[in-house]
Amino acid sequence: MNLTPLLKSLSIPTTHLEGNDIPVFSPIDGEQLGIVSSDNKEETNKKIDQSEKAFFQWRTVPAPKRGELIRLFGEELRHSKEALGQLVSIEMGKSLQEGRGEVQEMIDICEFAVGLSRQLYGLTIASERPEHRMLETWHPLGPVGVISAFNFPVAVFSWNFALAVVCGNSVIWKPSEKTPITAIAVVALFHRALEKLPEAPKGLLQLVIGDRSAGEQLVKDQRIPLVSATGSTDMGRKVAPVVAERFGRCILELGGNNGMIVSPKADLQLAIRATVFSAVGTAGQRCTSLRRVFVHNDIYNTFITALKSAYEKIAVGNPLDENNLLGPLIDKDAYITMQKALTEAENNGARVTGGSRILTETYRNAYYVTPALVEIQNQEIIVKQETFAPILYIMKYQDLDAAIAQHNDVSQGLSSCIFTNDLREAERFLSAAGSDCGIANVNIGPSGAEIGGAFGGEKETGGGRESGSDAWKSYMRRATNTINYSTELPLAQGIKFEL
C-alpha cells in the first residue's frame, strides 16, 4: 500500500519509512508499509534528558499560555483530520469511520484541555489558628512517560498528552511498535503548532520508537515521575512494581472483560444495536469491547434470534470501504488466540456461531473473520479471560442480583451496562451493590466513552483514570500551604511550646 500521497498531504517526508529495523505492516492486506528505525538505549536516554530540560522551561509558563499551545495543536488536527484518520485505519485496521472518530477524539480532548488550562483550581481551607490562611496549590510534576497500545494508536496518547502539557509537563511517548507511523505523523503535526508559540521549548514532546525494552527504560528512569501505560494486564503487572520501587506514579489502563445485562424490561431493538457495535467495532479490539451478555430467560430466544439476524448483515472487509463495518484483526497472533478461545468454549459445551476466517486471494496475508456468537451455559474460565477479538459470550439469567454477581465475577473492571426501562433495576446496577466497574451505563453499550468523563477501571484494569473530570490531578503535584499573617505563632491542636 503506497502511503506517499497520504504522508505528503500531512507534510511528512517518506524518509521516515526508510528505517532499518522495525517493519510495519497494514492489517488490511498484510503488506509492508515501510520500515522505521528504533531508538537505542543511548538515544532514548538523550530524549529523556531533553524532555527534562524542556520541563524546567515549560513549568514556569502560565497555564493559559500552555493551553494556547494545545489549542494550536487542535487546529492542526482539524486541518488534517481526514488524512490522519485514513492513516489510523490503514495502520491499525479499524474502519474509516472509527479512524476519523479517533482523530475527532484528539480534537475534543484538546478543547477540553484548553478550558482546563484556566481551571487548575486549588482550595482555600479553614484554618483552626487565628489570622492564618490554609490553601491547596497544584504544580507541574515533571516529564510524563506515555506508553500506548496499537488499538488506539493516537487517541489514548492525546488523552494523556493534552492534559499533561497544560498541567506544565513535558511528555515522552512510546507508541506500539505495530503502529509507529501514525505516531510520527502526530508528532509532526504537533511540531507545526510548536513553531507558532515561541515560548514553548522544542523538546516538549519526545517520541521513542522501539520494542518492549524501550518501554522498560522509560519505566525504570528516575527522571520520569509518572508513567501512563495502556495495554494488557500482564504488562501492568510488570510496569507497576518497577515504578513503585522508585516511588514513581502509574496511570494504568489495562484489560477489560466488559458485560451487559439485558432485562425483560429492556428496549430490545436498542439493546441489539448497542450489542452489535460494542462487540464488533474495531474487530473486538477495544479495551471497552463488549465480551459478555447476560440475557433474562424470558427474552433469551427472542434476543438471540434477533442478534444472529443482525450479525448476518455485518459487512466484513477492507475498512477503507465505508460499506464495511468490520475490518481485520491486527495480525496472525490475534487470529490464533481467537481460534484457541473458540475451541476451548466448544470443549466446554458452548454453541459457536461464526468466528471463521474469510480468506481471499486479495487478503491472503490478512486476518478477516466473521464475528463469533458463543452461547454458553456457565461463565467458564475462558469467558473470564479477555480475548482481543470479536467474540461475544451469551448467557441466561433469572434473578437480577445473581446476574450482577456473575457480571462482577471476573478479574477485570473496566466498563459495563444494563438495558432496562425499569428505574429500580437501573439504579440497582449503578449503586454500590451493582456494577464494580469504573464505567457503568444504562441503555448504552460499554464502548465509545466521551472525553468529558474520567476513563478507567478497577481491579486488574489497573485503577488509573485518564481524560476528563478531574483526571488532570494525576499529572500534577499537590502542595498544602499555610500563611500566617498575625504577629503570633499559635500551634495547631492547641499545643503550647513557649521559650
Write out pLDDT tens, residues 211-248. 999 999 999 999 999 999 999 999 999 999 999 999 99
User: Mean of the per-residue pLDDT values for the chain?
Assistant: 96
Q: Supply the pLDDT for residue 425.
A: 98
Query: 281 to each of 278, 335, 446, how far by Cα in Å?
Result: 6, 16, 12
**pLDDT number for residue 484:** 97
Low-confidence ranges of the chain (pLDDT < 50): none
Cα–Cα dist 446/9, whole Å? 35
The pLDDT assigned to 488 comes to: 94
Cβ count within 10 A of residue 482:
12
What the block records as the C-alpha cell of 351 is 454453541
The per-residue pLDDT for 44 is: 98
pLDDT for position 163: 98
Catalytic, out of 287, 386, 437, 466: 287
Residues 112, 123: Cα–Cα separation, whole Å:
21
Catalytic residue flag (residue 110): no
DSSP class of residue 200?
S
Whole-Å CA distances, 342 to 97, 135, 310, 354, 388: 28, 57, 20, 10, 12
Instruction: Report phi then psi at 391, rounded to 5.
Output: -115, 125
Distance CA 451, CA 441 (A): 15
Angle among Cα 245, 154, 160 to the nearest 5 degrees reads: 45
Strand-pair category, 226-230 with 144-147: parallel
Query: What number of CA atoms fall less than 13 Å from residue 167's CA on the CB side?
Result: 30
Rounded-to-integer distance, Cα 304 and Cα 262, Å: 11
- pTM of this prediction? 0.96
100-114: pLDDT as tens digits? 999 999 999 999 999
Q: What are phi and psi of 416, to 5 degrees?
A: -160, 165
Query: For residue range 336-365, what is the model confidence (pLDDT) as tens digits?
Result: 999 999 999 999 999 999 999 998 888 899
Do strands 454-455 and 290-296 pair parallel, antiparallel, or not at all (unpaired)? unpaired
Cβ 176 vs Cβ 204: under 8 Å = no
Question: Which residue shows C-alpha cell 442478534?
Answer: 307
Q: Label residue 81 exposed, middle or buried (CB < 10 Å: 0-12, 13-18, 19+).
A: middle
Three cell numbers written together for 323: 460499506
Q: Is the dihedral of CA 140, 143, 149, 153 positive or negative?
A: positive
DSSP 363: T
Q: Which is the catalytic residue, given 52, 253, 425, 460? A: 253
Quote the distance between the C-alpha of residue 75 and its chain's center: 22
User: Is residue 253 flagged as an active site residue?
Assistant: yes
